[in-house]
């Protein structure tokens, strides 16, 4: 997923370099800092994995302060459905495709679509070789990020923070080439729609959206700013959201993750050029000029709208 976010960042910097008026606008915005975070999972980008070198999904790994990783194994927080799915999600290297679809159909009938999706994708902390494994400690990449952000002022010791906007770019859910802004605080629905437009901001309480049934994730990267600033003395307004771009259908994306995982666990030196790796890349970063143009266009739009909000225009 980092490829799309990196493309948006590079495109914005290119635009800024070519536009003196835009540069002047930022120069005049006193007290404003823009932080671009590139490649939190460099291993995943280099080896074409959604997860890192420890098979940890970093988008389930951000548990800071009193939000401990081991707490996710407590009875009230433990993902009780995933253990019943695990066997079908870590097949042998050359598993039968028909078995995969039977497995999916059975569990959708067993739990219902919404519960099955929540149990699969919300994150789990028991199976180190499984999908969406959140880990039992903060991984090195996230730890470095937290420490670096603190040096830049994103810390509860900063008394001068007023507004903070955190946008996390993701791909893999929704209609091809279309994006939706996701967040978990229903009280922010109208303020976010005023900033970014009603068409693009999903209602977190809706039973269904343009990307299907929503599911909650613990330890996701888009909770980082809120966690870091939970006790900030200035009580800044913190808006955290995920910009999700659709790629392939959900079953194809899941299938690509399962296949890549099977190969990686069998041989961690599987080359990025292998078809199974390329299939995973295309599941999250399609080889389509129209899709990529849409990502850059909408990424730039959210960037500009976000800056306008922070500046107070």
Given a contact cutoff of 8 angstroms between Cβ atoms, the answer to whether 154 and 234 are in contact is no
Given a contact cutoff of 8 angstroms between Cβ atoms, the answer to whether 7 and 296 are in contact is yes
Say if residue 109's pLDDT is above 80: yes
Give the model confidence (pLDDT) of 23-38 as tens digits. Answer: 999 999 999 999 999 8
The encoded tokens of residue 203 equal 């209602």
pTM of the predicted model as reported, rounded to 2 decimal places: 0.93
Residues forming beta bridges with residue 234, ordered by sequence position: none
Say if residue 162's pLDDT is above 80: yes
Give the model confidence (pLDDT) of 115-152 as tens digits. Answer: 999 999 999 999 999 999 999 999 999 999 999 999 99
Across all residues in the chain, what is the average pLDDT?
92
Radius of gyration in angstroms for the set of CA atoms belonging to the chain, rounded to a whole number: 20
pLDDT interval class at 209 (50, 70, 90): low
Whole-number Å distance between alpha carbons of 264 and 131:
12
């Amino acid at each position: 997923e980092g490829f799309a976010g990196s493309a948006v960042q590079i495109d914005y910097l290119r635009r800024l370099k070519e536009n003196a008026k835009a540069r002047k606008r930022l120069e005049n915005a006193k007290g404003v800092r823009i932080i671009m975070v590139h490649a939190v999972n460099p291993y995943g980008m280099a080896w074409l994995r959604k997860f890192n070198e420890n098979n940890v999904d970093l988008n389930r790994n951000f548990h800071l302060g009193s939000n401990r990783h081991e707490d996710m194994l407590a009875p009230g927080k433990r993902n009780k459905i995933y253990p019943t799915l695990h066997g079908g999600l870590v097949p042998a290297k050359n598993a039968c495709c028909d078995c995969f679809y039977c497995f999916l159909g059975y569990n959708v009938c067993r739990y219902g679509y919404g519960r099955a999706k929540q149990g699969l994708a919300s994150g789990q902390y028991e199976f180190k070789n499984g999908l969406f494994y959140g880990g039992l400690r903060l991984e090195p990449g996230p730890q470095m990020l937290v420490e670096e952000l603190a040096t830049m002022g994103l810390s509860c010791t900063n008394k001068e923070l007023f507004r903070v906007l955190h946008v996390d770019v993701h791909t893999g859910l929704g209609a091809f080439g279309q994006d939706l802004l996701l967040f978990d605080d229903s009280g922010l629905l109208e303020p976010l729609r005023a900033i970014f437009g009603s068409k693009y901001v999903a209602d977190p309480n809706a039973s269904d959206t343009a990307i299907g049934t929503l599911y909650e994730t613990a330890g996701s990267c888009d909770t980082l700013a809120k966690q870091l600033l939970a006790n900030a003395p200035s009580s800044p307004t913190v808006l955290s959201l995920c910009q999700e771009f659709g790629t392939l259908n959900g079953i194809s994306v899941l299938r690509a993750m399962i296949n890549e995982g099977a190969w990686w666990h069998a041989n961690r030196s599987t080359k990025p050029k292998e078809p199974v790796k390329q299939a995973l890349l295309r599941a999250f970063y399609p080889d389509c000029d129209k899709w990529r143009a849409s990502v850059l266009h909408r990424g730039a739009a959210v960037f500009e709208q976000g800056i306008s909000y922070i500046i107070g225009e």
